[in-house]
Structure formats: C-alpha cells, structure tokens
Amino acid sequence: MRIVMIGTGYVGLVSGACFSDFGHTVTCVDKDKAKIDALLNGEIPIFEPGLDGLVANNVAAGRLNFTLDLAEALPEADAVFIAVGTPTRRGDGHADLTYVYAAAEEMAPLLRDGAVVVDKSTVPVGTGDEVEKIIARTAPDLEFSVASNPEFLREGAAIDDFARPDRIVVGVNDDHAKAVMEAIYRPLTSNGAPLIVMSRRAAELTKYAANAFLATKISFINEMADLCEKVGADVRDVAHGIGTDSRIGSRFLMPGPGYGGSCFPKDTLALLKTAEQYGASASIVDAVVESNDRRKAAMGDKVIDALGGNAQGKTVAVLGLTFKADTDDMRDSPAIDIVRALTAKGVKVRAYDPEGMEQAQQHEGLGAGDIAYCDSAYEAMEGADAMVIVTEWKPFRALDLDRAKDLLAAPVLVDLRNLYSRKDVEDRGITYVAVGR
C-alpha cells in the first residue's frame, strides 16, 4: 500500500515508521522545515525507545520518506492519514481541530479517486463527517472515503504497542474504506491481532471513552491511597486485592502524583465538551478531571509537609520531570505543578530527568533561571533537604541510598511512585514518605 502520513509528531512519526516496517511505502509530510530537515538527516525529534533504529532501517530500505511537499506525496496515495495535533482549545476546553480541517482542505484537490482519508488524530465525534464535507466541497467530483483509526499507543512503549496491539479500531461508513483498512493492517491481523470494525462515529468515541476510563482508574486508586493514609492501610494491598478481580484488572492501579501527558488531560476535557454539546451527562468524567487537578496540587503540599511545614529557603532535589518514564514528553506533567508549588513557597529546586530537561525549560516557572538543572540524580541531591521521586525512571528504582544519605543535608525521601521499601530506606536512617502507605 502507498500511505501518506500528514504530521510527524508523536503519532504520525511512530505510525509512519511502523507502517513502513510492515512493507508499505510511507511518506511523512510536515510543514515544519526544521523537523523535516532533521528527519532527512537521521535525527529523531522525539524520544521513544527504538524509534531511531526503526526509522533508519526503513529509510535505508526505501520504504520511508519525509517531505514538506504535499503535492509530491499525495497523487499516488491509497490512504492518507491525518496525524496532526488536536490540543485543548484555549478558553472553552474543546479540541482544537484547526489543523485537521486545514489538512483536509489542502489535500482535497490532490487526492486520486478511491483514496481513503483516515483520521488518526484524536478527534471528537462527528469530525469525520466534517472532513468528508470539506473534501467534497473542495473537490466535488472526487470519489473518496473517510475513515477513523484512533491510536492506542503508550509513550515509551509505542512501537511494541503498534506491533502487538490489544485491538485495532477502525471506523468506516462504506465497504471500500473497510477493504483498504483491512489491507493496511493485514500484516498484523494475519498474526492474530483483532481488527474491530465499527461506524466512524463509534470509533471516534471509543478513543475518548478508553482514555476516560483509564483516567478514572488512576484517579480512583489515588483517592483510595489518600484514604489508606488516613486509616492506616497499605494501598498496595488494596490495589492487589481489587486488581486480581478479572472484572477490574490490575493495570492502572498504581497510585502516584496524578496523570498527565498528551492524551488523558485533553481527552477527558474534550469528552466533557462533547457530552455537553449533545446534552448527555458525564458526571463521572467531570469528577475525574477535578480529582486529578486536586491530586497534582496536593503533591506540592505533601513535599512541604515532609520538610516540616516550613519550606522557605530549603532545597529539594526533584528526580523526574516528564509525565512518565521513557519519554521526553512534559505535557501536563505533575512535575510542573509540584515544582511551581515548591518555588512559590520559597523552595530552591534542583532537578534531574534523563530525557526531559530541555523540554521542561519551555514551561513557565521551570526555566533555567527558576530552578537548577543537574547532570545526575546525585548532583541534584547535593545539599538538599529532601529528594522527591516524581517520575518512575528505571535509574531512580536503584539509587544508592547510602550515597544519597551522605549527599543530602537532611535525609528525607518523598517517593511519589512507591518505588522503595520503607524498611530499606528507614534502615539507612532516611525518613521515608510514600503514597498511600
């Protein structure tokens, strides 16, 4: 198949590289010249384990290419995937579909008859209908189809998720689109990956519903963690006790500082706006959003309490800035709220993250003039009154605690990811503050 991927962000680049690895011919298109030039030079603009090698191999094999010129890529395409950003729109919380609709209008006169346009971006219900109208209005004689194919990729494990998916969701309203999508995904379905075909609107809603449900599990266990602290229970026991129930499942039951990233925050808000638009209740999702906002705000207070309540002039080592491990993504990371809460109380922050420090400095309050960035976790600990684990990077799971105690001015560990055993930490004379334990 000949595939064009519009957008070389996280979803577009990973999807394009994976499709090319299946044997399809893929051209990734972007308007950002610096990004395309970097990709043509073999430089990957995002951190995702294994992506650099995957891109390099398929470029060398001639199956993957990058261009700024949509007119060069589109005329022979069997399928055109729209993988552009849909951020939360300022002011009203709706998904901003400006880039999706612009892509539809720009591609319309360049498409060949029979082409299938696929929304890969996360978009609200009815977006496919609007894309179809835009293309039909711009190219009234064109025969084409519009499909929905939401992605379910975890940052840090995206390539494996693409190659071994729990399911592939495809939304189509005609048989031609169904046949093309089946052909694109045949390398996966022939190995047993389930392809779930539904209406276009159902596929659009499935993506939002999935993310909202996972966000609900996270917020639920975080609230149970708070309750565990009050009643003297261990949230790990509670999570294990409920997670072994096959109706509930054990995944997403790890308490922490709240969810962040490119999906859950904006998708829960967009789902709320869709429900509001159609006059449907989404009170559970509304409560999840509020709970997560409170959670992230409370984590700063938790650190300040660990400092004895008087934080002015004290120093804290913050280990981990990205919203999760194995990514450089800082979008809506709990670390942003935590660092801002600490500096607002007069705390000096020394921070280290294996991949996210450059991206972190682009956020207000996290610039190099606001906090000190260090070259290692141990450098961040030097002279600090406490260290805080915010992100569950593998190196933070095996810290030399004896060395940490010697480096810290006051031996306090606030473990917001529950990576350590209380006994191991306290046996070394370090005060241990965990979540829900």
Catalogue the active-site residues: 263
The one-character DSSP state at 398 is: G
E strands, 121-166, in order: 144-148
Distant-in-sequence, close-in-space partners of 111: CB < 8 Å, separation ≥ 6:
74, 75, 77, 80, 117, 135, 139, 142, 144
Distant-in-sequence, close-in-space partners of 437: CB < 8 Å, separation ≥ 6:
228, 229, 234, 235, 236, 418, 422
On whether 308 is known to bind a ligand per the annotation, the reply is no
As given in the structure block, the two tokens for residue 435 are 């979540």
On whether 88 is known to bind a ligand per the annotation, the reply is no
On whether 383 is known to bind a ligand per the annotation, the reply is no
On whether 81 is known to bind a ligand per the annotation, the reply is no
On whether 39 is known to bind a ligand per the annotation, the reply is no
115 phi and psi, to 5 degrees?
-65, 145
On whether 98 is known to bind a ligand per the annotation, the reply is no
133 and 164 in contact (C-beta within 8 Å)?
Answer: no
On whether 273 is known to bind a ligand per the annotation, the reply is no
On whether 266 is known to bind a ligand per the annotation, the reply is yes
H/E stretch holding 230: helix 200-231
Helical spans, DSSP H, in 248-333: 264-277, 283-306
On whether 216 is known to bind a ligand per the annotation, the reply is no
User: CA 197, 200, 204 angle in degrees (round to 5)?
Assistant: 100
On whether 86 is known to bind a ligand per the annotation, the reply is yes
Alpha carbons within 13 A on the beta-carbon side of 291: 22
The H helix count followed by the E strand count for the chain is: 18, 14
On whether 260 is known to bind a ligand per the annotation, the reply is yes
On whether 30 is known to bind a ligand per the annotation, the reply is yes
Torsion 165-210-147-48 (CA) sign: negative
As given in the structure block, the two tokens for residue 431 are 């005060």
Question: 3-class DSSP state for residue 59?
Answer: helix
On whether 301 is known to bind a ligand per the annotation, the reply is no
H/E stretch holding 162: helix 158-163
| Integer Cα distance of 29 and 58 in angstroms | 16
On whether 324 is known to bind a ligand per the annotation, the reply is yes
Binding residues for substrate: 152-155, 207, 252-256, 260, 324
- Which residues are annotated binding-site positions? 30, 35, 86, 122, 152-155, 207, 252-256, 260, 266, 324, 331
Where is the binding site for NAD(+), in residues?
30, 35, 86, 122, 155, 266, 331
